[in-house]
Structure 1
């Protein structure tokens, strides 16, 4: 079951000096996540992230895995993704496709939208795309996105 639960990494972190209503800025980063447990049809995933603008933080999300359109593929939907930083949190959703071929697990076509902020991140948003792979139960996702 660990191979079926990636991600979604969904990312960002740290603090930001970008004022509300400021122009969008391009960002990028990496998230390392692992599944922790399952409750019913939901799997819980957590880990850490490092974002070019927001810095270091933690990530937690809940995913539902469904069969994909081709053998060995799965659709991953993160119904709730939250990143935590020193200045607040951002929450939203994400999704991706996971492919398992033998011992190789890859995640592609990932996207996320984090729009609900707390603390100094209230009114901010992070959207982006990601992809990555899994090794020894740890998923590594590289992403690019837009922070506002």
Structure 2
């Protein structure tokens, strides 16, 4: 699965991805997951994300939200940047908005050596490879291989 995700993600480096739409980081990440592992990733989502205890009573869980894949049901939680492997999803917290402290707000795909590829809202919609910011890092997930269907 990891090599499929990396092969699908790398051609996006320095390319623009749908400027002007909300939740772009997860939309881009889902597009990579769909390309690498199948159409079920368009709507796959948990109702028990790791940050559920921080969400408000009226916060809806939706597939375009970063925390929609942050759950034990989808794989192993990774607690440190050093433990991430290429192909793991990387979750950042507190990157924007009026969310409670600790809410997951950004996602990308680990490349190894402390780097990840991601689509940022704040950089005019370009997909970039950058260092994973220590100050915003929350966790990662090593998705279950069984989630990746043969293409």
- Give me the TM-score of the superposition, normalised by structure 2: 0.28
* Structure 1 or 2: more strand by fraction: 1
Q: TM-score, normalised by structure 1?
A: 0.29
Q: More helix by proportion, 1 or 2?
A: 2
